[in-house]
Amino acid sequence: MNTNGKNRVVIVTGAGRGIGVKVAEKFAAEGNRVVVVDLMLERAEVTAQGIASRGGAALPLACDVSSSKSVDEMVSSVITRWGAVDVLVNCAGGYVRPKMPHETTEEAWDLTIDSNLKGTFLCCRAVLPHMMKQGKGRIINFASNAARSVATGLGCEYTAAKAGVTGLTRHLAKEYAPHNILINALAPGPTDVERLRENKTEEVFASLSKPIPIGRLGRPEEHAEVVFFMASEGASFMTGATIDNNGGIIMV
Ligand SMILES: NC(=O)c1ccc[n+]([C@@H]2O[C@H](COP(=O)([O-])OP(=O)(O)OC[C@H]3O[C@@H](n4cnc5c(N)ncnc54)[C@H](O)[C@@H]3O)[C@@H](O)[C@H]2O)c1
């Protein structure tokens, strides 16, 4: 694997919208082959078409990361098409409209845990044997500032899922470091994506920036830059870490 740049095979889940789009575009712009994965194929196709229109290589694939069958099929398709997986970025995730913990439904709990935590595990599990065979690999998991403290606005299930992602990241990092597979997590702070604007007045949306010392929301491109670094040769001594990229909203 050329860890710094050209021609790696990079899977980015949740790349049909939001931060994942910019992560996929960054790796493609740096000369890598990008697998654009999303639950919604039409979203993945739009991202892939954008990359292709700029001369990049992108393969759009539909996959539900919370289903082992779907994940295993997705990774098999990648191996058939491009023969390797050098980098996995687990960006897919979501939440449902949160309630107080005592009112949270089992369905909401399962949906959030499955798309964020179980999906991250299943995608790691599917690529690790290929990375072990290759003798190297990089995995970047998406946590959240919710994992570093709590996010009452997003529900206890989201806080639990993202805290789980950081624990999973540490565990896998320790077990696979001897295989030269480096596994880290990024914990973004509130970021200006379509999802964050949904169901909010301009006033409520503007208030989201107030607790952020830098004074504004993050931009998806700012996370893409950090993820790209985490997959680069420059990050060759880093594993099991959770990197905060959050404008200072949580300092740990
Ligand atoms: N935006 C923020 O403020 C923020 C802050 C902290 C952490 N994060 C994390 O960053 C990541 C990206 O967030 P975003 O705001 O860009 O999200 P987003 O909702 O804009 O995009 C997420 C994408 O993931 C896909 N997805 C959801 N469930 C899936 C599944 N089961 N299988 C496959 N794809 C699925 C969706 O279809 C969507 O296209 C998430 O893990 C999120 O929890 C975001």
Ligand 1 center–CA 242 separation, angstroms: 18
pLDDT value at position 162? 98
Ligand 1 center–CA 121 separation, angstroms: 16
CA gap 120, 88 in Å, rounded: 10
Taking every pair of Cα atoms in the chain, the longest distance, rounded to a whole number of angstroms, is: 52
Residue 181's Cβ-side half-sphere holds a number of Cα atoms within 13 Å equal to 27
Mean per-residue pLDDT over the chain, rounded: 96
Query: Is 58 in contact with 52 (CB distance < 8 Å)?
Result: yes
Nearest to 91 by CA among 56, 55, 130, 63: 63
Of residues 197 and 235, the one with the higher pLDDT is 235
Protein residue closest via CA to atom 19 of ligand 1: 195
Residue 3 above 60 pLDDT?
no
Give per-residue pLDDT as tens, 218-252: 999 999 999 999 999 999 999 999 999 999 999 99
What atom of ligand 1 comes closest to residue 67's alpha carbon? 31
Domain ranges (residues) in the chain: 9-245
Ligand 1 center–CA 82 separation, angstroms: 25
Regarding the beta carbon of 109 and ligand 1, being less than 6 Å apart is answered no
Query: Is 93 in contact with 159 (CB distance < 8 Å)?
Result: no
Regarding the beta carbon of 246 and ligand 1, being less than 6 Å apart is answered no
- 176-200: average pLDDT: 95
Residue 65 above 50 pLDDT?
yes
**Number of residues written out for the chain:** 252
Quick check: is 158 catalytic? yes
Residue 109 above 70 pLDDT?
yes
What atom of ligand 1 comes closest to residue 95's alpha carbon? 43
Nearest to 193 by CA among 66, 36, 20: 20
What atom of ligand 1 comes closest to residue 40's alpha carbon? 37
Regarding the beta carbon of 142 and ligand 1, being less than 6 Å apart is answered yes
Regarding the beta carbon of 13 and ligand 1, being less than 6 Å apart is answered yes
User: Could you give the residue ranges of the DSSP H alpha helices within the chain?
Assistant: 19-29, 41-53, 68-82, 106-113, 119-134, 145-148, 156-176, 194-197, 202-207, 220-230
Q: Which amino acid is at 171?
A: H
Q: Write down the residue that tokens 């709590």 correspond to.
A: 150
What atom of ligand 1 comes closest to residue 191's alpha carbon? 3
Give per-residue pLDDT as tens, 10-56: 999 999 999 999 999 999 999 999 999 999 999 999 999 999 999 99
Active-site entry in 121, 142, 158, 228 = 158
The highest-level CATH class for domain 9-245 is alpha beta
Q: Where does the pLDDT of residue 4 fall: very low under 50, low under 70, confident under 90, or very high at 90 and above?
A: low
- 104-121: average pLDDT: 97
